[in-house]
């Protein structure tokens, strides 16, 4: 953005939802026994956004999920829409009944984002990453923070809006302390394909978007 005094402000898309190409593709980033386990698909199971869930023109050429191809997303954002920097937010599955599976899914998304988006391809230097952690498994969450805290293109930690407990409880304090120590803000975002469908707000499920 060009200002009247000649200075410029970069245009930052602060929440670009990215996906694996398919459940099969996500399994390639999982280790056993989680690779063979069942888990929900990405699709929302409650209200949807007006006009559909996905931006037009972001589908993969072979029917992959929209937002799963860095080249298509980069072209859509940077070349066509004039965005300078995009903060990626991998969409995971919310809180799973098995906290170990939930952590494995979050870790797989982080691995996919870093390898496929941040460290490879045409637009890697313009993407920034959100590390997904499972707040139901503090030990696993701290492990993910430690793994990526020094990555130059990781800029925040992401947790689901839906949770078993309110995030101010002491059980979550080690995670927030780790975020402060790593100098990474925490992003809270409504989740897709949630394994346990908690209401996204303290007042229940909203009637509209």
- Token look-up 């888990």 returns 39
- Domain 12-189: CATH architecture, name and number where available: Alpha-Beta Barrel (3.20)
For residues 189 and 89, the answer to whether their CB atoms sit within 8 Å is yes
* pLDDT of 142 over the 80 cut: yes
* pLDDT of 195 over the 70 cut: no
Please report the DSSP string for 166-187 in residue order.
Answer: -TTSGGGHHHHHHHHHTT--EE
Q: How many Å apart are CA 80 and CA 101, to the nearest integer?
A: 38
| Average pLDDT of the residues in 85-105 | 91
| Average pLDDT of the residues in 91-98 | 85
| Average pLDDT of the residues in 6-27 | 91
* pLDDT of 98 over the 70 cut: yes
Average pLDDT, the chain: 89
Q: How many Å apart are CA 157 and CA 155, to the nearest integer?
A: 7
Q: What is the pLDDT of residue 114?
A: 97
- Kind and range of the H or E run holding 14: strand 12-18
Reported as a pLDDT band with limits 50, 70 and 90, residue 121 is: confident
- Token look-up 């992959």 returns 64
pLDDT in tens, 174-187: 999 999 999 999 99
């Amino acid at each position: 953005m060009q200002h009247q005094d000649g200075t410029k402000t970069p245009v930052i898309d602060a929440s670009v939802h990215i996906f694996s190409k398919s459940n099969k593709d996500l399994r390639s980033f999982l280790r056993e026994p989680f690779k063979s386990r069942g888990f929900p698909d990405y699709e929302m199971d409650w209200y949807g956004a007006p006009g559909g869930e996905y931006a037009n023109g972001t589908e993969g050429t072979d029917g992959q999920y929209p937002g799963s191809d860095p080249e298509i997303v980069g072209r859509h954002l940077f070349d066509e829409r004039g965005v300078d920097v995009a903060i990626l937010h991998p969409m995971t599955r919310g809180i799973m009944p098995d906290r170990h599976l939930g952590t494995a899914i979050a870790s797989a998304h982080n691995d996919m984002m870093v390898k496929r988006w941040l460290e490879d391809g045409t637009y890697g230097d313009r993407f920034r990453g959100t590390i997904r952690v499972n707040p139901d498994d503090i030990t696993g969450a701290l492990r993910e923070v430690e793994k990526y805290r020094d990555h130059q293109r990781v800029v925040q930690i992401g947790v689901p809006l839906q949770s078993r407990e309110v995030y101010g409880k002491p059980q979550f304090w080690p995670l927030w302390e780790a975020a402060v120590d790593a100098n990474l803000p925490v992003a809270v975002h409504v989740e897709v394909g949630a394994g346990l469908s908690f209401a996204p707000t303290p007042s229940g499920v909203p009637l509209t978007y």
